[in-house]
Structure formats: C-alpha cells, structure tokens
Chain A
C-alpha cells in the first residue's frame, strides 16, 4: 500500500503529522491512532501535513473532523498543510475548507497558528 505517516515539530513545538500516499479506509486508522496518541500526550495544537498525499477520501476527512472536535474541546486547533490543489479540492467540494485552517506550507502554518492560538 502506498502510504506513509511520520511526525515532526514546527519550530514552535507544535506537532505535525506528515502523511504520504493514499489515505483511505485502509490507512486512515493509522492517522487516527497517531492523532489520539498526540492528544493523549497533551497536545493543544496539531498540524496535519498533506503535502505528499495523493489520495484523500471521506474516511480520512472523518478522522480529521474527529480530531478537530477533540482538540477544540480543549480550546486548541488542528490546522492542515495542503499545497496540492487536487487534495484541497476534496475539502472544497465538501465545504470543509471553511471548517479547517488550510495552509500551503509549514511556514505559513507556523505563522498562522502563532497569530491565532
């Protein structure tokens, strides 16, 4: 399966989950586990980096929505890095581009999240 998942931190210490390849019904559970792990470890902010993602479906969207709800319960935020117009289109079609803060790069995400914690 063409899928990868990794984590890194922004300079500000905000954890970033970096996804690659295809995020679908088979691979999205790994994203969910990673997000839950970060939440359990006390993360108040989180970023999901979709720059290397080439397929993103409703299962993956559902995982992101679940993560967003949980993190907003603790007054935090979950932002997305999504430079790819094709992947961003999935968010636009479903109206979820109005629900998530979507940035085109890690730098933009860092600036954006610092401005509105």
Chain B
C-alpha cells in the first residue's frame, strides 16, 4: 500500500453541509475496502467518519458558517488507517453542565466514534476542529 515506506494519502474536501456527509462516507468506504479490514471494520470506519462529519455539520449550523468545508484525509498503510477530519465550522463551545443531563445526538455520536475506532484525538484548529481517528487492520 505504501510507496517508498510512506503511507498512501487520499483526500476529499466537501462542503460542511448535511447532503455531503454521504459523499465522505462513500469515499472512506472505498479507502477502507482496500485494506485488510473485515467487513465489520470497514462499516465501523464508515460510521465513525460519518459521525465526525455530522458533528462538523452541526457546529457549522450552530456557528452560522455557511461556507464551511471539511477536509477528509486518509493515510493508509498495510496495517493502519489514519483519518484526519478538519473542518472550518468555527469553535466548539462547551455546553454548560446543566445541559448535559440526557444523552443527546452529539454525545451519542462521540460515543460511537470512541467505540468504533482504536484511537481518537480532537483538537481545535484554526477556525474549526481537527479530529484524528486511527483504526488498525488485522486486529
């Protein structure tokens, strides 16, 4: 999969809008299918990327960033898939504690991501958020 020991990189940039999340899922399905993942693992990656992009879309709506976009970058080796999801959806402000009583879509989405991939990292990025997910093949 690698060329000269470097991971192969596939990138997709989509508008940060609901109707395009499916495009990102399809692309990641294509990427993950080329690795030694089981059917369930490919589905896990597809769902996790879908959830991360959905979170970006929701924040873009909240922050009224109508021209926001999402860069979905997949780096693949024979054994490791790294997906970087970088949006320009604006800042993600923490909810005040009293609003966190019941599980809601956002926390369900975050829960799903942590259960579906092996590593997750979320960090603020210039004008948005950078999520990194890693899934190891053959596990």
Interface residues of A (CB under 8 A from B): 1-2, 22, 24-26, 55, 57-59, 61-62, 65, 86, 89-90, 93-94
Contact = CB atoms under 8 A, between A and B. Distances in A.
Contacts of B115: 93
Interface of B: 18-19, 21-22, 25, 40, 43, 46-47, 50-51, 54, 57-58, 103-106, 108-109, 111-112, 115-116
18 contacts: A1-B22, A24-B18, A24-B54, A25-B57, A26-B18, A26-B19, A26-B22, A55-B47, A55-B50, A57-B51, A57-B109, A58-B109, A62-B104, A62-B105, A89-B40, A93-B112, A93-B115, A93-B116
Contacts of B58: 25
B18 A25 contact: yes
A61 B103 CA distance: 11
Nearest to A26: B18
A1 B112 CA distance: 23
A8 to B, nearest CB: 26
A39 B22 CA distance: 29
B21 A26 contact: yes
B21 A24 contact: yes
Contacts, number: 55
Contact of A24 (B40, B50, B103): B50
B54 A86 contact: no
A58 B51 contact: yes
A25 B56 CA distance: 11
B19 A59 contact: no
A94 B112 contact: yes
A24 B108 CA distance: 13
Interface centre among A24, A62, A94 (most CB of B within 10 A): A24
A22 B58 CA distance: 18
Q: Which 9 A-B pairs have the closest CB atoms?
A: A62-B105, A26-B18, A58-B109, A58-B108, A25-B18, A25-B54, A26-B19, A58-B105, A93-B115
A93 B51 CA distance: 14
Interface centre among B103, B106, B115 (most CB of A within 10 A): B103
Given A59-B54, A86-B43, A1 B108 contact: no
A61 to B, nearest CB: 6
A94 B108 contact: yes
Interface centre among A25, A55, A65, A93 (most CB of B within 10 A): A25
